[in-house]
Amino acid sequence: MTAPLISLNGLTKRYGSFTAVDGVSLDVAEGSICGLLGPNGAGKTTTFKCLLGFVKPSAGSIAIEGAPVTPATFESLAYVPERAALYDNLTIGDHLTLYRRSYKNYDEARARELLALFDLDARKQTAKLSKGMRTAVALTLAFSIRPRVLVLDEPSSGLDPVHQRNVLDLMIDAAANGAAVLFSSHQVGQVERAADSVAIMKKGKLIVNSGIDELKTGEKIVEAVFAGPVPSIDGLAGDPNVLRVEQVGSTLRVVTRDDSDAIAQRIFALHPKSIRTIDLNLEEIFMNAVSGDQS
Amino acid sequence: MPTIFTVDPRSGVPLYLQLIEQIKRAVALGTLAPSEQLPTVKALALELTVNPNTVARVYRELERDGVIDTSPGRGSFVRADGAGTQARRAVADVARAAFEGAVREAKSLGLSRDETQELMARTIARWYETEKDA
């Protein structure tokens, strides 16, 4: 692995007594896409704002391409905020002109391609655009500078399914060309497709930070049905590979982080009527993580 | 490449395992012919809308399993000897995974070892007899 293009180390942001971001450490490597998930108010947007230097962190450090954030960072960094910031009295084409004058990496042909991809008319005034089209303009601008680092806050909000897929393809294309992408989404399916690593935030803390394959391979539910009441299993709840133990009637459900086979064997030794191991998809892993009590 | 692969991101099975299984199956069935070139990592990632590192991992593991060969600058190819041993092994891999799933299911439903073996024997008898009759 090469040095990460995005690196957060112990990032913390307090507003008075409220801690919006609490000791977040996260790296995104060259050619990698990290999907950031979390309920509203988990601290995703504040993390992005700190990362970009818009908000001063209370503690911790940030490095983009191995260096602190300076105006020069933005030559190769693109940020798409949740609500696209556009000049209402300008046309889409005027925005492209601004970018041409401001960014030396601006690629006019690429920008035209992106306009066509999102079915945007350069002559349109941005004030008249729908939320989804505003997002599309912001994405066009972001990708027109062929950035090395992409920070995208809900990049497909308001877009139709076809254009949502286009956004994923743009991220994939950028990563295949060596960019690092950090994006937040409420759509777990998008993260599942586009991301190779998953970060989950809850109440300011990073509660999951893992490769997506490792996460899905590791986390499973072992479900056993017993003839009578569920027998007690020594040390199960304290096992480091057990995330949660649930009991409903004669059914035992154990959420495992790793080594579900060993746990299944232990339960099997108690002669359940049936036992099965259930693979979890990312949405279920996400729900388990944010509804659990491990924060 | 004429073969169309699909991934199901809503499945609990990681995408790279889904793809490895499908490509092995295609090699076993001959829909991916020996020496046939596979798309580049980037092209397949964009075609399927999946992460490029996921596709890169698929190619690495297929190479390790002897199903494909990757040479820098030239690309990835189904192994020329794929028609022989590698394809047989790929078939066995796919079949073994299906068997395992079936046996796990039987066990989870509370069937005994004998009952499962009996079921398996009957199934084998049925399918292999049918083949001989045909």
What tens digit of pLDDT does each residue of B45-55 get? 999 999 999 99
Residue A223: closest C-alpha in chain B: B108
| Average pLDDT rounded to a whole number, residues B6-14 | 88
Residue B2 pLDDT exceeds 70: no
Residues A204 and A224 in one domain: no
User: If one looks up domain B15-85 in CATH, what number appears?
Assistant: 1.10.10.10
Residue type at A281 in one-letter notation: N
Nearest residue to A120 (alpha-carbon basis) of A109, A135, A105: A135
ipTM comes to 0.85
- Candidates A175, A189, A279; nearest CB to B9: A189
A285 part of a folded domain = no
Using CB atoms within 10 A of its CB, is residue A248 exposed (0-12), middle (13-18) or buried (19+)?
Answer: exposed
Identify the three-state secondary structure at position A247.
strand
Is A263 found in the same domain as A193? no
Strands A149-153 and A180-184: parallel
In a domain, A291, yes or no: no
- CA B3 – CA A41 distance, rounded (Å): 44
How far away is chain A from the Cα of B84, in angstroms, using its nearest Cα?
A: 31
Beta-carbon separation of A279 and B11 below 8 A: yes
Number of independent structural domains in chain A:
2
- For residue A9, the domain's CATH number is 3.40.50.300
One-letter amino acid identity for A116?
A: A
The answer to whether residue A123 is domain-embedded is yes
Distances (CA, A) of A219 to A190, A288, B33, B128: 19, 10, 36, 38
Task: Give A21 to chain B, closest Cα distance, Å.
Answer: 28
The answer to whether residue A99 sits within a structural domain is yes
Query: Within 10 Å of residue B78's Cβ, how many Cβ atoms?
Result: 26
- Please say which residue of A162, A178, A212 terminates a domain: A212
> With contact defined as beta carbons under 8 Å apart, do A259 and A227 qualify?
no
| Chain B residues with beta carbon closer than 8 angstroms to that of A279 | 11-13
- Coarse DSSP helix, strand, coil percentages of chain B, rounded to the nearest 5 percent: 65, 5, 30
Domain of A173? 4-212
pLDDT at site B87: 64
Mean pLDDT of B79-83: 69
Residues A240 and A161 grouped into a single domain:
no
Does one domain contain both A225 and A254? Answer: yes
Whether residue A140 is found in the same domain as residue A274: no
What per-residue confidence (pLDDT) applies to A181? 98
Q: What is the CATH number of the domain that holds A253?
A: 3.30.70
Regarding pTM above 0.95, the answer is: no
Residue-by-residue pLDDT tens, chain A, 295 positions: 567 999 999 999 999 999 999 999 999 999 999 999 999 999 999 999 999 999 999 999 999 999 999 988 998 999 999 888 899 899 999 999 999 999 999 999 999 999 999 999 999 999 989 999 999 999 999 999 999 999 999 998 889 999 999 999 999 999 999 999 999 999 999 999 999 999 999 999 999 999 999 898 888 999 999 988 888 887 787 888 888 888 889 999 998 887 788 888 888 888 888 888 888 989 989 988 888 654 4
- Smallest Cα–Cα separation from B45: which of A175, A72, A275? A175
Question: Are residues A151 and A225 located together in one domain of the fold?
Answer: no
Q: Which of B11, B12, B51 lies at the smallest CB-CB distance from A194?
A: B51
Kindly state whether residue A27 falls inside one of the protein's structural domains.
yes
Let me know if residue A144 belongs to a domain: yes
Contact at CB, B49 and A168, closer than 8 angstroms = yes
Q: How far is CA B72 from the centre of its chain?
A: 24
Nearest to A150, CA basis, from A121, A112, A105, A183:
A183
Q: Are residues A111 and A194 in the same domain?
A: yes
pLDDT at B134: 45
Q: Which residues of A touch B60 (CB under 8 A)?
A: none
Domain co-membership, A171 together with A262: no
In chain B, % of residues over pLDDT 70? 88
Average pLDDT of chain B to the nearest whole number: 84
**Strand B68-71 to strand A18-29: parallel, antiparallel, or no bridges (unpaired)?**
unpaired
Whether A136 maps to a domain, the answer reads yes
> Which of A186, A107, A117 lies closest to A147 in space, CA to CA?
A107
